[in-house]
Structure 1
Amino acid sequence: MFQIEHISKSYGKKQVLNDVSFPVPEGCAIGILGVNGSGKSTLLSCIAKKYAGTPDVRIGYVPQENPLYDELKPVDNLRMWTNKRKSEILQALQAPPLAQLGIQTFLDTPVKNMSGGMKKRLSLACALLDAPQILLMDEPFAALDLPAKQDAMQFMRYYLSLGNSIVIASHEEAVFQFCHTVYLLKNGTLFDASHLPEGTNYIDLLRN
Protein backbone atom coordinates (compact mmCIF):
# COMPACT_ATOMS: atom_id res chain seq x y z
CA MET A 1 0.00 0.00 0.00
CA PHE A 2 1.26 3.47 -0.92
CA GLN A 3 0.37 6.56 1.09
CA ILE A 4 -0.27 9.95 -0.51
CA GLU A 5 0.72 12.42 2.19
CA HIS A 6 0.32 16.09 3.03
CA ILE A 7 -0.64 17.63 -0.32
CA SER A 8 -1.35 21.35 0.09
CA LYS A 9 -1.70 24.07 -2.51
CA SER A 10 -2.72 27.71 -2.47
CA TYR A 11 -3.05 30.44 -5.07
CA GLY A 12 -2.33 33.71 -3.33
CA LYS A 13 -4.55 33.77 -0.25
CA LYS A 14 -6.88 31.04 -1.55
CA GLN A 15 -6.21 27.61 -0.06
CA VAL A 16 -7.12 25.09 -2.77
CA LEU A 17 -5.84 21.93 -1.06
CA ASN A 18 -5.46 21.60 2.69
CA ASP A 19 -3.08 18.83 3.84
CA VAL A 20 -4.68 16.08 1.72
CA SER A 21 -3.60 12.52 2.54
CA PHE A 22 -5.04 9.12 1.61
CA PRO A 23 -3.89 5.51 1.10
CA VAL A 24 -3.68 3.82 -2.30
CA PRO A 25 -3.93 0.04 -1.83
CA GLU A 26 -2.57 -2.27 -4.52
CA GLY A 27 -5.09 -3.32 -7.16
CA CYS A 28 -7.66 -0.73 -6.11
CA ALA A 29 -9.40 2.17 -7.82
CA ILE A 30 -9.69 5.34 -5.75
CA GLY A 31 -12.23 7.98 -6.76
CA ILE A 32 -11.90 11.70 -6.03
CA LEU A 33 -15.29 13.35 -6.59
CA GLY A 34 -15.72 17.11 -6.63
CA VAL A 35 -17.58 19.83 -8.46
CA ASN A 36 -15.86 21.81 -11.21
CA GLY A 37 -13.21 24.09 -9.74
CA SER A 38 -12.90 22.14 -6.49
CA GLY A 39 -9.20 21.38 -6.99
CA LYS A 40 -9.35 17.84 -8.36
CA SER A 41 -7.03 18.52 -11.27
CA THR A 42 -4.69 20.46 -9.00
CA LEU A 43 -4.57 17.51 -6.60
CA LEU A 44 -3.57 15.01 -9.27
CA SER A 45 -1.00 17.41 -10.70
CA CYS A 46 0.52 17.96 -7.25
CA ILE A 47 0.68 14.21 -6.60
CA ALA A 48 2.40 13.61 -9.94
CA LYS A 49 4.98 16.31 -9.25
CA LYS A 50 5.63 15.38 -5.61
CA TYR A 51 6.29 11.70 -6.29
CA ALA A 52 8.01 12.00 -9.68
CA GLY A 53 11.21 9.97 -9.60
CA THR A 54 10.59 8.62 -6.10
CA PRO A 55 12.13 5.16 -5.54
CA ASP A 56 9.05 4.02 -3.61
CA VAL A 57 6.56 4.00 -6.48
CA ARG A 58 6.21 4.77 -10.18
CA ILE A 59 3.31 7.06 -11.03
CA GLY A 60 1.72 7.74 -14.42
CA TYR A 61 -0.45 10.79 -15.04
CA VAL A 62 -3.21 11.25 -17.63
CA PRO A 63 -4.39 14.89 -17.55
CA GLN A 64 -7.87 15.86 -18.71
CA GLU A 65 -6.55 17.53 -21.85
CA ASN A 66 -4.73 15.04 -24.06
CA PRO A 67 -1.01 15.95 -23.91
CA LEU A 68 -0.50 15.21 -27.59
CA TYR A 69 1.03 16.94 -30.60
CA ASP A 70 -1.53 17.15 -33.43
CA GLU A 71 0.94 16.87 -36.30
CA LEU A 72 2.76 13.82 -34.91
CA LYS A 73 1.93 10.13 -35.19
CA PRO A 74 1.66 7.86 -32.11
CA VAL A 75 5.28 6.73 -31.79
CA ASP A 76 6.62 10.27 -32.17
CA ASN A 77 4.20 11.46 -29.48
CA LEU A 78 5.22 8.61 -27.20
CA ARG A 79 8.90 9.49 -27.60
CA MET A 80 8.16 12.85 -25.96
CA TRP A 81 7.29 11.06 -22.70
CA THR A 82 10.04 8.50 -22.29
CA ASN A 83 13.75 7.86 -22.69
CA LYS A 84 13.00 4.65 -24.58
CA ARG A 85 14.22 4.24 -28.15
CA LYS A 86 11.72 3.89 -31.00
CA SER A 87 12.37 0.15 -31.23
CA GLU A 88 11.69 -0.23 -27.50
CA ILE A 89 8.44 1.73 -27.80
CA LEU A 90 7.23 -0.46 -30.67
CA GLN A 91 8.09 -3.55 -28.63
CA ALA A 92 6.23 -2.19 -25.59
CA LEU A 93 3.12 -1.51 -27.69
CA GLN A 94 2.94 -5.21 -28.54
CA ALA A 95 3.17 -6.42 -24.93
CA PRO A 96 0.71 -6.13 -22.01
CA PRO A 97 -0.63 -3.83 -20.78
CA LEU A 98 -0.04 -1.48 -23.73
CA ALA A 99 -1.07 -4.10 -26.29
CA GLN A 100 -4.60 -3.96 -24.85
CA LEU A 101 -4.86 -0.32 -25.97
CA GLY A 102 -4.55 -1.25 -29.64
CA ILE A 103 -2.22 1.63 -30.53
CA GLN A 104 -0.57 -0.54 -33.17
CA THR A 105 -3.80 -0.42 -35.22
CA PHE A 106 -3.39 3.32 -35.91
CA LEU A 107 0.38 3.84 -35.89
CA ASP A 108 0.27 5.77 -39.17
CA THR A 109 -2.49 8.17 -38.09
CA PRO A 110 -1.48 11.69 -36.99
CA VAL A 111 -3.22 12.93 -33.85
CA LYS A 112 -5.20 15.57 -35.77
CA ASN A 113 -7.01 12.76 -37.64
CA MET A 114 -7.79 10.63 -34.57
CA SER A 115 -11.13 10.13 -32.86
CA GLY A 116 -11.58 11.10 -29.22
CA GLY A 117 -11.27 7.47 -28.17
CA MET A 118 -8.02 7.01 -30.09
CA LYS A 119 -6.55 10.14 -28.50
CA LYS A 120 -7.51 8.91 -25.05
CA ARG A 121 -5.85 5.55 -25.68
CA LEU A 122 -2.69 7.28 -26.88
CA SER A 123 -2.69 9.54 -23.81
CA LEU A 124 -2.96 6.42 -21.65
CA ALA A 125 -0.04 4.87 -23.50
CA CYS A 126 2.08 7.98 -22.85
CA ALA A 127 1.44 7.56 -19.12
CA LEU A 128 2.01 3.79 -19.12
CA LEU A 129 5.26 3.53 -21.10
CA ASP A 130 7.45 3.43 -18.00
CA ALA A 131 5.27 0.81 -16.25
CA PRO A 132 3.74 2.87 -13.42
CA GLN A 133 2.19 1.11 -10.44
CA ILE A 134 -0.28 3.96 -9.85
CA LEU A 135 -2.16 5.71 -12.64
CA LEU A 136 -3.64 9.17 -12.05
CA MET A 137 -6.58 9.92 -14.37
CA ASP A 138 -8.24 13.33 -14.59
CA GLU A 139 -11.80 13.18 -15.98
CA PRO A 140 -10.97 10.00 -17.95
CA PHE A 141 -14.29 9.85 -19.81
CA ALA A 142 -14.65 13.51 -20.76
CA ALA A 143 -15.72 14.01 -24.41
CA LEU A 144 -15.85 10.25 -25.08
CA ASP A 145 -18.82 8.54 -26.71
CA LEU A 146 -20.34 5.44 -25.08
CA PRO A 147 -18.25 2.82 -26.95
CA ALA A 148 -15.04 4.71 -26.14
CA LYS A 149 -16.07 4.97 -22.48
CA GLN A 150 -16.72 1.24 -22.37
CA ASP A 151 -13.31 0.53 -23.94
CA ALA A 152 -11.61 2.79 -21.39
CA MET A 153 -13.45 1.14 -18.51
CA GLN A 154 -12.51 -2.32 -19.76
CA PHE A 155 -8.84 -1.36 -19.94
CA MET A 156 -8.92 0.17 -16.46
CA ARG A 157 -10.32 -3.06 -15.01
CA TYR A 158 -7.58 -5.01 -16.78
CA TYR A 159 -4.91 -2.64 -15.45
CA LEU A 160 -6.23 -3.12 -11.90
CA SER A 161 -6.22 -6.90 -12.33
CA LEU A 162 -2.43 -6.74 -12.76
CA GLY A 163 -2.12 -5.43 -9.18
CA ASN A 164 -1.79 -1.78 -10.17
CA SER A 165 -3.85 1.07 -8.75
CA ILE A 166 -5.80 3.97 -10.25
CA VAL A 167 -6.74 7.35 -8.77
CA ILE A 168 -9.60 8.94 -10.72
CA ALA A 169 -10.68 12.57 -10.39
CA SER A 170 -14.09 13.46 -11.80
CA HIS A 171 -17.25 15.49 -11.30
CA GLU A 172 -19.40 12.62 -12.67
CA GLU A 173 -20.78 10.47 -9.89
CA ALA A 174 -21.40 7.52 -12.24
CA VAL A 175 -17.65 7.21 -12.89
CA PHE A 176 -17.12 5.82 -9.40
CA GLN A 177 -19.39 2.77 -9.64
CA PHE A 178 -16.37 0.50 -9.95
CA CYS A 179 -14.13 2.35 -7.45
CA HIS A 180 -13.21 0.56 -4.25
CA THR A 181 -13.08 3.82 -2.26
CA VAL A 182 -14.59 7.22 -3.03
CA TYR A 183 -13.46 10.50 -1.48
CA LEU A 184 -15.24 13.84 -1.69
CA LEU A 185 -13.16 16.98 -2.22
CA LYS A 186 -14.78 20.12 -0.83
CA ASN A 187 -13.20 23.40 0.25
CA GLY A 188 -9.74 21.89 -0.09
CA THR A 189 -10.45 19.02 2.28
CA LEU A 190 -10.88 15.33 1.44
CA PHE A 191 -13.72 13.32 3.04
CA ASP A 192 -14.15 9.54 2.96
CA ALA A 193 -17.59 8.93 1.42
CA SER A 194 -17.82 5.39 2.83
CA HIS A 195 -19.03 6.83 6.13
CA LEU A 196 -22.08 8.44 4.50
CA PRO A 197 -25.50 6.73 4.47
CA GLU A 198 -26.28 4.52 1.47
CA GLY A 199 -28.08 6.44 -1.25
CA THR A 200 -26.49 9.80 -0.39
CA ASN A 201 -26.42 12.15 -3.38
CA TYR A 202 -22.76 13.11 -3.39
CA ILE A 203 -23.13 15.95 -5.88
CA ASP A 204 -25.88 17.65 -3.87
CA LEU A 205 -23.74 17.28 -0.76
CA LEU A 206 -20.76 18.89 -2.47
CA ARG A 207 -22.79 21.81 -3.80
CA ASN A 208 -24.41 22.66 -0.45
Structure 2
Amino acid sequence: MTTAEPLVEVVGLAKKYRTRTVVRDVTLRLMPGEIVGLVGANGGGKTTTLRILAGLLRPDLGSGAVLGDDIRASATARRARIGYMPQRLSLYPELTVAENLRFRADAHGLPDARGQVEAAALRWGLAPVLTTRFERLSGGWGRRVQFAATLLHAPPLLLLDEPTAGLDVVTRTDIWRWLVELATRGHGIVIATHDLAEAERCPTILHYRDGVVEGPITPKVLIDKSGARTLEAAVAALATAAPQ
Protein backbone atom coordinates (compact mmCIF):
# COMPACT_ATOMS: atom_id res chain seq x y z
CA MET A 1 0.00 0.00 0.00
CA THR A 2 1.34 3.45 -0.93
CA THR A 3 0.92 6.50 1.25
CA ALA A 4 -0.95 9.37 -0.43
CA GLU A 5 1.09 12.47 -1.15
CA PRO A 6 -0.19 15.94 -0.23
CA LEU A 7 -1.87 17.80 -3.06
CA VAL A 8 -0.81 21.08 -1.47
CA GLU A 9 2.00 21.58 1.02
CA VAL A 10 3.07 25.21 1.38
CA VAL A 11 4.61 27.25 4.20
CA GLY A 12 4.74 31.00 4.78
CA LEU A 13 3.36 32.18 1.45
CA ALA A 14 3.11 35.95 1.08
CA LYS A 15 2.18 38.33 -1.71
CA LYS A 16 2.68 42.08 -1.98
CA TYR A 17 1.30 44.56 -4.50
CA ARG A 18 3.63 47.55 -4.56
CA THR A 19 3.84 48.57 -0.90
CA ARG A 20 0.75 46.70 0.29
CA THR A 21 1.05 43.17 1.60
CA VAL A 22 -2.14 41.44 0.48
CA VAL A 23 -1.57 38.18 2.30
CA ARG A 24 1.13 36.80 4.54
CA ASP A 25 2.08 33.51 6.15
CA VAL A 26 -0.26 31.14 4.33
CA THR A 27 0.57 27.64 5.52
CA LEU A 28 -1.50 24.72 4.30
CA ARG A 29 -1.24 20.96 3.88
CA LEU A 30 -4.09 19.49 1.84
CA MET A 31 -4.43 15.74 1.39
CA PRO A 32 -6.64 13.92 -1.13
CA GLY A 33 -10.21 13.85 0.14
CA GLU A 34 -9.92 16.99 2.27
CA ILE A 35 -11.93 20.22 2.05
CA VAL A 36 -10.48 23.48 3.39
CA GLY A 37 -12.47 26.71 3.55
CA LEU A 38 -11.02 30.21 3.28
CA VAL A 39 -13.03 32.71 5.32
CA GLY A 40 -12.74 36.37 6.25
CA ALA A 41 -13.59 39.87 5.09
CA ASN A 42 -13.40 41.12 1.53
CA GLY A 43 -9.88 42.02 0.48
CA GLY A 44 -8.36 39.75 3.08
CA GLY A 45 -6.34 37.68 0.62
CA LYS A 46 -8.54 34.66 -0.08
CA THR A 47 -8.65 35.13 -3.86
CA THR A 48 -4.93 35.94 -3.93
CA THR A 49 -4.23 32.66 -2.14
CA LEU A 50 -6.28 30.70 -4.67
CA ARG A 51 -4.51 32.40 -7.56
CA ILE A 52 -1.11 31.55 -6.08
CA LEU A 53 -2.09 27.91 -5.64
CA ALA A 54 -3.49 27.85 -9.18
CA GLY A 55 -0.19 29.13 -10.55
CA LEU A 56 -1.64 32.44 -11.77
CA LEU A 57 0.46 34.45 -9.30
CA ARG A 58 3.93 33.77 -7.96
CA PRO A 59 4.41 34.29 -4.20
CA ASP A 60 6.97 36.83 -3.00
CA LEU A 61 7.83 34.73 0.03
CA GLY A 62 7.31 31.17 1.16
CA SER A 63 7.94 27.72 -0.18
CA GLY A 64 6.30 24.40 -0.87
CA ALA A 65 4.63 22.46 -3.63
CA VAL A 66 1.28 22.07 -5.39
CA LEU A 67 0.70 18.68 -7.03
CA GLY A 68 4.37 17.95 -6.51
CA ASP A 69 5.58 21.07 -8.36
CA ASP A 70 7.55 23.85 -6.69
CA ILE A 71 5.14 26.69 -5.87
CA ARG A 72 7.64 29.26 -7.14
CA ALA A 73 8.40 27.50 -10.45
CA SER A 74 6.52 27.70 -13.73
CA ALA A 75 2.97 26.41 -13.29
CA THR A 76 2.28 25.41 -16.90
CA ALA A 77 2.33 21.68 -16.22
CA ARG A 78 0.28 21.67 -13.04
CA ARG A 79 -2.46 23.95 -14.35
CA ALA A 80 -3.74 21.08 -16.48
CA ARG A 81 -4.36 19.10 -13.28
CA ILE A 82 -6.10 21.90 -11.39
CA GLY A 83 -9.75 22.90 -11.55
CA TYR A 84 -9.77 26.65 -10.83
CA MET A 85 -13.16 28.37 -10.72
CA PRO A 86 -12.88 32.16 -10.42
CA GLN A 87 -15.58 34.23 -8.80
CA ARG A 88 -16.30 35.98 -12.10
CA LEU A 89 -17.83 33.71 -14.74
CA SER A 90 -15.30 33.15 -17.49
CA LEU A 91 -16.91 31.08 -20.25
CA TYR A 92 -17.51 32.46 -23.75
CA PRO A 93 -20.78 34.47 -23.72
CA GLU A 94 -21.55 34.02 -27.43
CA LEU A 95 -21.24 30.22 -27.34
CA THR A 96 -23.92 27.82 -26.17
CA VAL A 97 -23.42 25.76 -23.05
CA ALA A 98 -22.65 22.67 -25.15
CA GLU A 99 -20.17 24.61 -27.29
CA ASN A 100 -18.43 25.97 -24.21
CA LEU A 101 -18.11 22.53 -22.68
CA ARG A 102 -16.89 21.01 -25.94
CA PHE A 103 -14.31 23.79 -26.31
CA ARG A 104 -13.11 23.11 -22.76
CA ALA A 105 -12.93 19.36 -23.45
CA ASP A 106 -10.86 19.99 -26.60
CA ALA A 107 -8.58 22.39 -24.72
CA HIS A 108 -7.81 19.67 -22.19
CA GLY A 109 -7.27 17.10 -24.93
CA LEU A 110 -10.06 14.87 -23.68
CA PRO A 111 -11.11 12.00 -25.96
CA ASP A 112 -14.65 11.98 -27.37
CA ALA A 113 -15.50 15.60 -26.62
CA ARG A 114 -19.13 15.07 -27.61
CA GLY A 115 -19.42 12.20 -25.14
CA GLN A 116 -17.76 14.31 -22.46
CA VAL A 117 -20.35 17.03 -22.94
CA GLU A 118 -23.22 14.54 -22.75
CA ALA A 119 -21.79 13.01 -19.58
CA ALA A 120 -21.34 16.43 -17.97
CA ALA A 121 -24.89 17.44 -18.89
CA LEU A 122 -26.23 14.30 -17.25
CA ARG A 123 -23.98 14.55 -14.18
CA TRP A 124 -24.66 18.22 -13.44
CA GLY A 125 -28.24 18.54 -14.69
CA LEU A 126 -27.48 20.81 -17.64
CA ALA A 127 -29.79 19.27 -20.26
CA PRO A 128 -32.35 22.15 -20.09
CA VAL A 129 -29.74 24.76 -21.11
CA LEU A 130 -27.32 22.91 -23.41
CA THR A 131 -28.42 24.84 -26.50
CA THR A 132 -28.67 28.20 -24.70
CA ARG A 133 -26.00 30.83 -25.27
CA PHE A 134 -24.02 31.37 -22.10
CA GLU A 135 -24.75 35.11 -22.02
CA ARG A 136 -28.49 34.37 -21.82
CA LEU A 137 -28.28 32.17 -18.74
CA SER A 138 -29.41 33.31 -15.32
CA GLY A 139 -26.69 33.79 -12.74
CA GLY A 140 -27.55 30.48 -11.11
CA TRP A 141 -27.40 28.50 -14.33
CA GLY A 142 -24.22 30.30 -15.35
CA ARG A 143 -22.46 29.36 -12.15
CA ARG A 144 -23.65 25.75 -12.42
CA VAL A 145 -22.26 25.56 -15.97
CA GLN A 146 -18.98 27.14 -14.85
CA PHE A 147 -18.76 24.53 -12.09
CA ALA A 148 -19.31 21.74 -14.62
CA ALA A 149 -16.65 23.17 -16.94
CA THR A 150 -14.19 23.34 -14.05
CA LEU A 151 -14.73 19.65 -13.29
CA LEU A 152 -14.77 18.44 -16.89
CA HIS A 153 -11.18 17.11 -16.91
CA ALA A 154 -11.53 15.46 -13.46
CA PRO A 155 -8.72 17.46 -11.80
CA PRO A 156 -7.39 16.09 -8.50
CA LEU A 157 -7.22 19.61 -7.00
CA LEU A 158 -10.18 22.03 -7.01
CA LEU A 159 -9.71 25.72 -6.20
CA LEU A 160 -13.13 27.38 -6.00
CA ASP A 161 -13.72 31.10 -5.47
CA GLU A 162 -17.27 31.76 -4.21
CA PRO A 163 -18.81 28.88 -6.19
CA THR A 164 -22.25 29.35 -4.60
CA ALA A 165 -22.44 33.16 -4.69
CA GLY A 166 -25.89 34.36 -5.69
CA LEU A 167 -27.35 30.88 -6.02
CA ASP A 168 -30.74 29.70 -4.83
CA VAL A 169 -30.85 27.31 -1.91
CA VAL A 170 -31.49 24.26 -4.10
CA THR A 171 -28.45 24.86 -6.30
CA ARG A 172 -26.26 25.69 -3.29
CA THR A 173 -27.33 22.43 -1.69
CA ASP A 174 -26.58 20.55 -4.91
CA ILE A 175 -23.08 22.02 -5.18
CA TRP A 176 -22.19 21.21 -1.58
CA ARG A 177 -23.48 17.68 -2.04
CA TRP A 178 -21.29 17.36 -5.12
CA LEU A 179 -18.27 18.74 -3.26
CA VAL A 180 -18.65 16.16 -0.51
CA GLU A 181 -18.98 13.41 -3.13
CA LEU A 182 -15.86 14.66 -4.93
CA ALA A 183 -13.90 14.69 -1.68
CA THR A 184 -15.06 11.15 -0.97
CA ARG A 185 -13.58 10.14 -4.33
CA GLY A 186 -10.22 11.63 -3.40
CA HIS A 187 -10.30 15.14 -4.82
CA GLY A 188 -8.77 17.87 -2.66
CA ILE A 189 -10.82 21.07 -2.43
CA VAL A 190 -9.96 24.62 -1.34
CA ILE A 191 -13.01 26.87 -1.31
CA ALA A 192 -13.22 30.60 -0.59
CA THR A 193 -16.67 31.60 0.58
CA HIS A 194 -18.50 34.51 2.15
CA ASP A 195 -21.32 32.20 3.19
CA LEU A 196 -20.09 31.33 6.66
CA ALA A 197 -23.01 29.03 7.38
CA GLU A 198 -21.71 26.97 4.46
CA ALA A 199 -18.11 27.33 5.61
CA GLU A 200 -19.03 25.57 8.84
CA ARG A 201 -19.37 22.43 6.72
CA CYS A 202 -15.61 22.53 6.07
CA PRO A 203 -13.66 20.36 8.51
CA THR A 204 -10.78 22.86 8.37
CA ILE A 205 -10.57 26.59 7.61
CA LEU A 206 -8.05 29.37 7.16
CA HIS A 207 -9.19 32.66 8.70
CA TYR A 208 -8.09 35.86 6.91
CA ARG A 209 -7.97 39.13 8.81
CA ASP A 210 -6.12 42.20 7.52
CA GLY A 211 -3.86 40.04 5.37
CA VAL A 212 -2.86 37.80 8.28
CA VAL A 213 -3.88 34.16 8.11
CA GLU A 214 -4.81 32.05 11.11
CA GLY A 215 -4.98 28.29 10.74
CA PRO A 216 -5.55 25.72 9.53
CA ILE A 217 -8.02 25.36 12.37
CA THR A 218 -11.49 23.93 12.80
CA PRO A 219 -14.54 26.23 12.65
CA LYS A 220 -15.25 25.26 16.28
CA VAL A 221 -11.89 26.53 17.46
CA LEU A 222 -12.49 29.93 15.85
CA ILE A 223 -16.02 30.08 17.25
CA ASP A 224 -14.80 29.23 20.76
CA LYS A 225 -11.99 31.78 20.51
CA SER A 226 -14.45 34.59 19.72
CA GLY A 227 -17.04 33.56 22.28
CA ALA A 228 -19.67 33.50 19.54
CA ARG A 229 -22.16 30.78 18.68
CA THR A 230 -21.72 30.59 14.92
CA LEU A 231 -18.85 30.98 12.48
CA GLU A 232 -20.50 34.05 10.95
CA ALA A 233 -20.71 35.74 14.34
CA ALA A 234 -17.15 34.68 15.16
CA VAL A 235 -15.67 36.20 11.99
CA ALA A 236 -17.65 39.41 12.51
CA ALA A 237 -16.54 39.68 16.15
CA LEU A 238 -12.89 39.08 15.35
CA ALA A 239 -12.99 41.55 12.44
CA THR A 240 -14.01 44.37 14.78
CA ALA A 241 -11.87 43.33 17.76
CA ALA A 242 -8.78 45.37 18.61
CA PRO A 243 -5.54 43.76 17.42
CA GLN A 244 -3.79 41.78 20.14
Fold shared by both chains (TM-score > 0.5): yes
Amino acid at match of 1:203: A
Which runs of structure 1 show a deviation greater than 6 angstroms over 4 or more consecutive aligned residues?
Answer: none
Which structure would you say has the larger Rg?
A: 2
1:207–1:133: structure 2 CA closer, same or farther, 3 Å change rule? farther
Match of 2:24 in 1: 18
Equivalent pair of 1:27/1:160 in contact (CA under 8 Å): yes
Quote how far apart the aligned CAs of 1:110 are.
0.8
- Identity over aligned pairs, percent: 30
RMSD across aligned positions (CA)? 2.6
1:55–1:72: structure 2 CA closer, same or farther, 3 Å change rule? closer
The C-alpha deviation readout for 1:2-60, integer Å capped at 9, x for no partner, is: 23424321111000122422011211110010101111111111211165444699211
Equivalents in 1 of 2:158, 2:92: separation in Å?
21
Q: Which has the higher contact order (CA 8 A, sep 6+)?
A: 1
Any gaps of 5 or more consecutive residues in structure 1?
Answer: none
Quote how far apart the aligned CAs of 1:92 are.
2.0
Amino acid at match of 2:130: L
1:84–1:169: structure 2 CA closer, same or farther, 3 Å change rule? closer
Match of 2:146 in 1: 123
Equivalent pair of 1:184/1:206 in contact (CA under 8 Å): no
TM-score by length of 2: 0.74
1:167 aligns with 2:167: no
Match of 1:45 in 2: 51
Equivalent pair of 1:93/1:104 in contact (CA under 8 Å): no
Equivalent residue of 1:178, what SS? Answer: coil
Match of 2:38 in 1: 32
Match of 2:171 in 1: 148
Equivalents in 2 of 1:72, 1:28: separation in Å?
34
1:177–1:196: structure 2 CA closer, same or farther, 3 Å change rule? closer
1:158–1:113: structure 2 CA closer, same or farther, 3 Å change rule? same
Match of 2:71 in 1: none
Any gaps of 5 or more consecutive residues in structure 2?
Answer: 1-5, 59-65, 67-74, 229-233
